[in-house]
Amino acid sequence: MKICCITILILINSWFCFGQNQLFNSTFDIGVADGWTDIIYQNDSVFLTGSVFDASNSGHRLFSFFKLNNQTAIHHHEIGMNQNISYYSGLGKTLIYDNVNYKVYLPGSTQSSGNNANGYFMVSNVNGDSLNTVTYSDSTFIQASLINNSKDQLIFSGATGVYNPNFNLDARLMKCDTSGSILWEETFGGNSDDNFYSLDRTHDEGYVMAGYTESWGAGGWDAYVVKTDSLGNFEWQEYFGDVNNDNAWVEALDNGDLLIYGNTGHPQTNKSRAFVRKLDSLGSTKWEQIYVYDNDINHHHQILSCEVTNDGYIFAGSSFDSVDNTPLGWVLKTDFDGNELWSRRYRKRDSQNYLRDIIELPNGDLMACGFVFAEGPLTQDAWLLRLNCLGFDSIPEAQGTINTLPDYEVMLENESINWGNCIINWGDGTSDYLYEGYSTELYHTYPNDDIYDIELIALACDSSDTMFFQVAPTFTGLEENETMGTFSMYPNPTNNIVTVQYTITNPQGETNVSLYDLTGRILSSDVLQKAQGSFQLNTQNYPNGIYLVVLSDENGRHKTGKLVVRH
């Protein structure tokens, strides 16, 4: 029998730098099936926990340790004590860091080969070395946990199996000391299954739990919220939902309000939608919002984690793609009233991509964890993303095109990526701003015919990128000579071949077409053979910039057009 298995994997990667702006979207292959479910930040370190299965399909608890000040070392610890038992983390926040005694607690549930499930918690030092394990042999599921450092006490929520007369789950709240001895426990629910996924400490030192109930509500699973005092005594409960399954998690706010979030079924499509409901300290609803990605009600959406920031709430979960019905990682930002500020999805592989937890780092970046399935055999890898404050996993890139219009007007098409807002300096002393979610087209009229340098600056959090343009602000910059005729050029700007169409009025001797740079140097010159037609200029070997195309005849008539070359 295997008593203890601890495997340490150290990866040296120069890109895995926790310095500013080092964003990434990466997977980690630790065992056969890996996944992170919980992430916390403490003392310049990031700790993650989840589960890993080995080749024999035995499940072990996975503990990962990232030191922010040590930018190259990644340590994974695979902890399992019996090859016949699998260890699972809970569905809520279970990972506990004891910043007084510098220990890490890893609660969860076990399942043996005989399908008996029991609660447990492991204790390790901050380096992942196993110190102790406590198991509760009474069909207990631990889904979430807290610590009371001042009293060396642990608080767990989840469920426990009961017979009344059939076997079902009662929601459970339990307090024990750090050695595992139970100090008190309370159960909640009715005659059907009830389960607490999530737990938090309230402003009055009591507790609030959220999960689901089958004992009350509209049918199926309904969202279930229970508030107790500091001793676990029942104070109030709320349940809500419809005939479809609803699940809930909870975040207690400093002002006494409670943020309930999770997923609820759509009444017509039966597809799950994400919801957030704010309750006051007595359980009354203050507001509720429903969220789907890009107004898509025909595919599943769920949120499993919440982080409170200084300007709103960050949620993480999954959203099914409308094209291939594949689950993608999903991060959603709202203000304090639940109004959506931005929503992003993440695909690491063309398979299933799930996010389970998210935190905010001290510099405002976000770190999310979860797992992705392989594109071939049915295995999965742990998944970790570092995002900036706007949820992008890479820095902004300024991109765009300029089109000239009549009457000294130009149109800038902003094609930048990973940006929150853009600044456009038009080169004539004026500027404009673009914000994410608004039109990407911006128009500007110049005071006269000249050559202007434009800056397009894409911004996201503390990063920026700049693209430069040169523009002549008339539609080909034609200098009118009514007796000469007309001509036009397209495309303009060009990156290779430009077509010139012309009509010469009352031809007077030989007509030439010449291409000049802005220093007046002739780059090419040809004779037009007909009074009307078209020809092509090849600009492939010319550098980016402004050029002059001039039609002239023997009597001094001429017509000039400005050509922009941009490769």
Report domain extents, the chain. Answer: 400-471, 485-565
Contacts of 390 (CB under 8 A, 6+ apart): 333, 342, 420, 436, 460, 461
pLDDT band at 128 (very low <50, low <70, confident <90, very high): confident
End-to-end CA distance of the chain: give it in Å, rounded: 67
Confidence class for position 328, pLDDT limits 50, 70, 90: very high
Residue type, position 491, single letter: P
- Residue 412's nearest CA partner among 465, 466, 459, 471 is 471
Burial string for 419-428 (b: 16+ CB within 10 Å, else e) reads bbbbbbbbbb
Question: Whole-angstrom Cα distance, residue 502 to residue 552?
Answer: 12
Peptide bond into 493 cis (omega under 30): yes
Burial of 134 (0-12, 13-18, 19+ CB in 10 A): middle
What pLDDT was estimated at residue 405?
Answer: 72
| Radius of gyration, CA atoms only, the chain | 32
Domains 400-471 and 485-565 alike in fold: yes
Q: Check pLDDT > 90 for residue 51.
A: no
Distances (CA, A) of 198 to 1, 171, 235, 255: 34, 11, 17, 19
- In contact, 371 and 346? CB cutoff 8 Å: no
Contact 89, 50 (CB under 8 A): yes
Q: Where are the beta strands (DSSP E) in 81-129?
A: 85-88, 96-98, 103-112, 117-125
Average confidence (pLDDT) over 322-339: 95
* Category of 232 on φ-ψ map: left (φ > 0), alpha (ψ -120 to 50) or beta: left
Q: What is the DSSP letter of 417?
A: B
Nearest residue to 492 via CA among 399, 405, 400, 398: 405
**pLDDT tens across 492-538, in order?**
889 899 999 998 888 878 888 988 886 667 889 999 888 899 999 99
pLDDT in tens, 18-42: 444 589 998 888 777 788 899 998 8
Gap between the Cα atoms of 406 and 449, Å rounded: 11
Residue 203: per-residue pLDDT: 95
What CATH number is given for 485-565 in this structure?
2.60.40.3080
Task: Please answer whether residues 102 and 125 qualify as being in contact, where contact means their C-beta atoms are separated by less than 8 angstroms.
Answer: yes
Q: Within a 10 A sphere around the Cβ of 309, how many other Cβ atoms?
A: 13
H/E segment holding residue 385? strand 380-387
pTM equals 0.79
The answer to whether 383 touches 329, Cβ cutoff 8 Å, is yes
Grade residue 157 by pLDDT with cuts at 50, 70 and 90: very high
Position 480 pLDDT exceeds 50: no
**What is the separation of C-alpha 543 from the centre of its chain, rounded to a whole number of angstroms?**
39
Fold adopted by 400-471: Immunoglobulin-like (2.60.40)
- Give residue 551's pLDDT: 86
DSSP code of 293? G
d(CA 555, CA 567): 36
CB 87 within 8 A of CB 59: yes
Distance of CA 212 to the CA centre of its chain: 27
What are the contacts of 399-403 at 24+ separation with CB within 8 A? 399/458, 399/467, 400/456, 400/467, 400/469, 401/493, 402/454, 402/469, 402/471, 402/493, 402/564
Give CA separation, 126 vs 11, 40, 53, 133, 231, in Å: 18, 12, 23, 15, 30
pLDDT-derived band at 448, boundaries 50, 70, 90: confident
In this model, does residue 394 exceed pLDDT 90?
Answer: yes
Contacts of 11 (CB under 8 A, 6+ apart): 28, 74
Residues 184 and 70: their CA atoms lie apart, in Å, by 41
Q: Which two tokens stand for residue 129?
A: 């070395």
Say how many residues make up the chain.
567
What is the C-alpha to C-alpha distance for residues 417 and 394, in angstroms, rounded to an integer? 9
Whether the per-residue pLDDT at 195 is higher than 60: the answer is yes
Asked if residue 487 has pLDDT above 90, the reply is: no
From residue 537, alpha-carbon distances to 192, 432, 497, 549, 561 in Å are 80, 35, 6, 10, 13
Q: What's the CA gap between 392 and 401, in Å, rounded?
A: 23
Q: How much is the pLDDT for 482?
A: 56
Within 10 angstroms of residue 28's Cβ, the number of other Cβ atoms is 18
pLDDT at 79 over 70: no
